[in-house]
Amino acid sequence: MEARLTTPRKPARHATVDAASHPTPAATAEATLDAPAERTRRRPSRRAPRRLGPGKRIRFGTLLGPLLLLTAWTAGSATGLLDTRAMSAPWTVVTTTAGLIESGRLQDNLLTSLGRVGLGLVFGVALGTVLALVSGLSRWGEAVIDGPVQIKRAIPALALMPLLILWLGIGEVMKVTTITLGVLVPVYVHLHNGLRGIDSRYIELAETLRLGHAAFIRRVVLPGALPGFLLGMRFAVTAAWLFLVVVEQINSTSGIGYMMDLARTYGQTDIIIVGLVLYGLLGLLSDGAVRLIQRRALSWQRTLGG
């Protein structure tokens, strides 16, 4: 029987390679999963949460906008972009202001305007507060008061001027009454909204504690409506200066508006700019005073504004 010859096979090329150099698929997957976890343990994430609010309050930030406006005005006047005949330069306005102070005209007119605004604010805030309390705490009061106030809110101030002149003349009574009506509306609207926005659970608690009507107003109503009242005051002080501009240019013999109207007659642009700057500064200072009171009185609130 013929013997079959078999050729011995050659050994595989990588048969002698150590098994450690070729890990199994299971070992590779396990090492891949363990590596990120090990890196995470070595380097824990300490990333701070992103701040979404407006940030910290900027000290004297309210003055930044007016200062930028003053810088642009100065630059425009110095480069000739602004015609000095139509818009007096800042240094001309400063010189004119010094002359008005030296002659005493500015102080006299300023005191007259401050007196009108002060009386209008006192009467308007008092009347608006009383009407808002009656309307906000009584359905019958709301039915009687809210409609006429909303009608007054929709009627422009200039539309009432002819009727007020016919009724009250052109004296101080008409001027103070006009400012009072302008102040009354924002105080009433925001205070009424604050009263109706008080949480009903506080009212139920007051009823459970058997608080009297006076104690209920003092301990629940007034603190709850204070944010709305102060917001209305910010609008009220601005409205007082706006209405003052209107009434002082109607047959007046004193006041900042009278001084500006007289300057318009003689083409004195620098005096008109002095009056405008004075109105702006008075409005900015009065609004800043109310905002300061608002920040102190409502320091317990945690809001976005800080």
What pLDDT score was predicted for residue 66? 84
What pLDDT score was predicted for residue 305? 58
What single-letter amino acid sits at 38? E
* Residues of the chain below pLDDT 70: 1-55, 301-306
Written as six digits, the tokens of 86 are 């139509």
What pLDDT score was predicted for residue 210? 85
What pLDDT score was predicted for residue 234? 92
What pLDDT score was predicted for residue 276? 92
Which structural domains are found in the chain, ordered by start?
Answer: 87-297 (1.10.3720.10)
- Nearest one of 279, 280, 192, 292 to 232, comparing CA atoms: 192
What is the per-residue pLDDT across 57-76, written as a single tens digit (0 to 9) for each?
777 777 788 889 889 988 98
DSSP letter string over 133-197?
HHHHH-HHHHHHHHHHHHHHHHS-HHHHHHHHHHHHTTSHHHHHHHHHHHHHHHHHHHHHHHHHT
What is the per-residue pLDDT across 178-226, written as a single tens digit (0 to 9) for each?
999 999 999 999 999 988 888 888 888 888 888 888 888 888 888 888 8
What pLDDT score was predicted for residue 303? 64
What pLDDT score was predicted for residue 13? 46
